[in-house]
Amino acid sequence: MQGAPSFDSWTILFLFAIGLGLFLSSIIGTSKNRNNLPIAFLLLGFSIILIQYVLYWTKHTTLFPYLGMLPHVCYYSTGPLLYLYFQKIYHKKPSLSYSPHFIPALLVLFTYASLLINRLGGDLEIPWLWFSRNPWFIALHLSIYFILCLKLKLAQKSATQYDQLRAKWSKALLFLYGTFTLAYSSYYILVRFPFFNNEWDYAISIVMSFSIYTIGYFVIKEPQIFNGEFFSEVFLPKKQIASEEDVMEESLYEKLIRCMENEKPYTNNELRMVQLADQLGFSAHFLSKVINEKSGKNFNQFVNDYRLEEAQQLLLELPNEPIKTIYFEVGFNNKATFYNAFKEKYKCTPSQFRKTHISSQIHKTGV
């Protein structure tokens, strides 16, 4: 006779995790944003595995004999589901060729269905039974998909706000899945040693429960991941992403031009790109990119052009002002740099430029 349910504090915690997992799975799975379906099924899979563990520890597996092989289907589904989700959030659109990833899970599902038929009086040969129940195949399968997801994660860079959120979210998922894989594999290694404690089996369920609670935390703390806002940003078509970036670059360039004309930061002899970027409120990297693309010049060339324009005006407006004073006032630090830049732009020295243009003005006025 089966005894009364023997729940302890751990199994009660796992029951709460199961309830939360099923609830989150239904909420995420029925939302309008279909991109989160892999996470919904991942939560469902963890919940089913947890149910089987709780039944085992409370010695009630005989009450639900038909659930015996179902967790194994979930084990072989979690990796492909997570990999599919990573492909979605990292713009790697799955093709029809993605379906083979679920072949192991389908084979186990066939085995599970065959066992059910046999229990109901059928007589089917089950060729894949050894594969379905072998924990080392499961551990290998989990490890392979952890590595595949990790490779996708490491190949990406964080730039925008949503890239950073995506990195945070994918890092959390990888940590949880990697810990789950490690806990599962470690159990079947340590169980062979005499010092093994059966209660260490709880570690696998603790990790799955923690995973469910963590995803629940993200649902509350970062709802944009699940409500479509996150995916509307990370799934923007490339043309739309490019156009938004172009708009931002154009906006910065206009702001830069206004700053150069009105505030004249180039007159600072010690001006650096970092200082100008801070003044404009953008990163130095982005400022450099904008200057290169919009003006076709590097930072020094761009700044020196403004200095030279200012210098040639002062040479004419202040004909008696020493050239040294002028080039220092417009931002140049030394004569050589100023003269080389001036000659390259105006094809003459500052002295020749001043003399030629002043003579021309005198000739026009007839003085």
Nearest in space to 266 (alpha carbons), one of 334, 319, 327: 327
* pLDDT given at position 2: 45
Tens digit of each residue's pLDDT, the chain (367 residues) = 344 556 677 788 888 888 988 988 888 888 777 778 888 899 898 898 888 888 888 877 777 767 777 888 889 999 999 998 888 877 665 555 678 888 888 888 888 777 777 665 555 555 666 677 788 889 999 999 999 999 888 877 655 555 677 778 888 889 989 988 888 888 888 777 777 666 666 777 788 888 888 887 777 666 656 655 455 444 444 444 445 667 788 888 899 999 999 999 999 988 888 888 888 887 878 888 888 888 888 888 899 999 999 988 888 888 888 888 988 999 998 888 899 989 988 888 888 888 887 766 555 555 4
State both tokens at 219: 């649902």
Q: At what angle do helices 135-154 and 161-190 cross, to 10 degrees?
A: 160
* pLDDT given at position 160: 56
Residue 308 buriedness (CB in 10 A; 0-12 / 13-18 / 19+)? buried
* pLDDT given at position 220: 65
State both tokens at 202: 């709880």
Q: Decide if 9-234 and 297-367 have a common fold.
A: no
CB 210 within 8 A of CB 204: no
**CATH architecture for segment(s) 297-367:** Orthogonal Bundle (1.10)
Q: How far apart are CA 301 and CA 57, in angstroms?
A: 73
Domain ranges (residues) in the chain: 9-234, 237-296, 297-367
Residue 11 buriedness (CB in 10 A; 0-12 / 13-18 / 19+)? buried
* pLDDT given at position 361: 59
* pLDDT given at position 290: 87
Q: How far apart are CA 56 and CA 204, in angstroms?
A: 13
pTM of the model: 0.57
Q: Class for domain 9-234, per CATH?
A: mainly alpha
Q: Please compute, for residue 142, the number of CA atoms within 13 A of its CA located in the half-sphere on the CB side.
A: 23
CB 150 within 8 A of CB 174: yes
Q: What CA–CA distances, in Å, run from 36 to 27, 43, 238?
A: 10, 11, 21
Those residues whose C-beta lies under 8 Å from the C-beta of residue 107, and which sit 6 or more positions away, are 76, 128, 131, 132
